[in-house]
Amino acid sequence: MNPRDSHPVSLPIDLTIQILARLPTKSLLRFRSVCKLWREVLSQKQFVDLHFALSSRTRGVAIESPDHAASTPDLVCVDPILGVSAFSLDFLDDRVKIRASCNGLLCCSSVRSRGVYYVCNPMTREFRVLPRTRERPFTRSEPEYEATLVGLGFDPATWRIHVAIAGFHRSFGRWPRGGDRRLVCKVFDAATGAWTRFAASMCDEFTCMNRNQSVYAGCSMNWLTHCCRYVSVLDLENMLWGKITLPDEVLATQQGTRFYLLELEGSVSVVQMSRFWMSTWVLKDRAKEEWALVDRVNLRCIDGYAASVFPISQTKDVVFMATQKKILMHDRNSRVWKEVYGVEGNFTYPLWFSAFAFGSTLFPCRQAIGKLLILSYSSDQELKNQ
């Protein structure tokens, strides 16, 4: 055949989309500049949803660097397939702290400006500044409360974003105790641009690790309480708080064990850690509070880390664990452990406090935010004064 008679062969657009949807997010961002057609295709909701569905099994871990020097990346991502890569949050033009993660988006709080929060996608470098949590200045009589709980929710089906923030709010010199503590909720609706307020009785406590591990599932925010007997649930549709009791088998074996709340395939999951075993439970029916044991791992292979290892992220294939200086990955199919990341030198800040479940996506964060929730603990007297 004469080479001059040959013509370049173009793939059908449907096949091209299927190929592109299986590529890493970082590659797709470069391919947007190939041609107008690809740029349009890669920006469509159908493609973004398809890419997320095909890549959801490869979610890994994002580690925030505690060193804010210019030479240090703000974010290190550990992917089970692509390995380790570094990213910067300099596009925010602010010094921030990562507070929560969900489906490739991050919720960050400003270190310099109190009450300022961002929702961003570190891969696309797109971000949205949320309305300030408070307009009035902070004074000695009304000090700023530390955001004890921060949760981010992004629904892949509707692209709806929720952010929940909770903290102890008190008058100067007074700490609410026992029945005096009320959970005050402020709800921001982007449609009206106004705050809606409601209150509920809440006396729960949360450990430092519980605060970092919020799970968004079924249009609700979930946190594991300090007593480790139930999960505290915020229903984002009805603006109500509830509780889900942990499995009877877990409650019967609490002594000498630790508990962590993670997400697994879109469901709430509780990981129980003992000296030699790690058991993973998944909430199958929220209304009936039915749990199922889906995995049990022997920890004798990492006996030197078992007492100080924390689960950070998981899929049905792998689970990522953090020690003070290392990130370990366990393959649930081959039952093999592997060290995938580590820090050197005099690094003393434990990785489990700066690591979040993360998987790169193309999801935007400039869509209209449905509801933004700001929560704070307050006493009855404060409710009367406000």
- The predicted structure's pLDDT at residue 261: 92
- The predicted structure's pLDDT at residue 33: 85
* pTM for the model: 0.85
- Phi and psi at residue 151, to the nearest 5°: -130, 140
Amino acid at 124: T
Query: Cα Rg for the chain, rounded, in angstroms?
Result: 22
- The predicted structure's pLDDT at residue 381: 39
- The predicted structure's pLDDT at residue 68: 52
What distance in Å separates the CA atoms of residue 370 and residue 380, rounded to the nearest whole number? 29
Burial of 276 (C-beta count, 10 Å sphere; 0-12/13-18/19+): exposed
What distance in Å separates the CA atoms of residue 107 and residue 98, rounded to the nearest whole number? 6
Closest among 313, 311, 309, 310 to 359, alpha carbons compared? 313
Q: Return the domain boundaries, the chain.
A: 12-56, 57-358
- The predicted structure's pLDDT at residue 382: 39
Closest among 41, 58, 61 to 355, alpha carbons compared? 61
- The predicted structure's pLDDT at residue 9: 60
Q: What is the pLDDT along the chain (386 residues), one digit of tens a residue?
A: 455 555 556 778 888 889 999 998 888 999 888 888 888 888 889 999 999 998 877 788 998 876 655 445 578 899 888 888 888 898 998 988 888 899 999 999 888 888 788 999 999 999 988 888 766 655 444 434 445 778 888 988 888 888 887 765 555 445 555 555 666 666 555 545 555 676 777 667 776 666 678 899 988 989 888 888 889 888 888 888 889 999 988 888 878 888 999 999 889 999 999 888 999 999 999 989 999 999 999 988 887 787 788 899 999 999 999 988 889 999 999 999 999 988 876 666 778 788 889 989 999 887 545 455 555 444 333 333 44
∠ CA 374-375-380 to the nearest 5 degrees? 135
- The predicted structure's pLDDT at residue 209: 64
What distance in Å separates the CA atoms of residue 317 and residue 361, rounded to the nearest whole number? 19
- The predicted structure's pLDDT at residue 137: 57
The CATH number assigned to the domain with range 57-358 reads 2.120.10
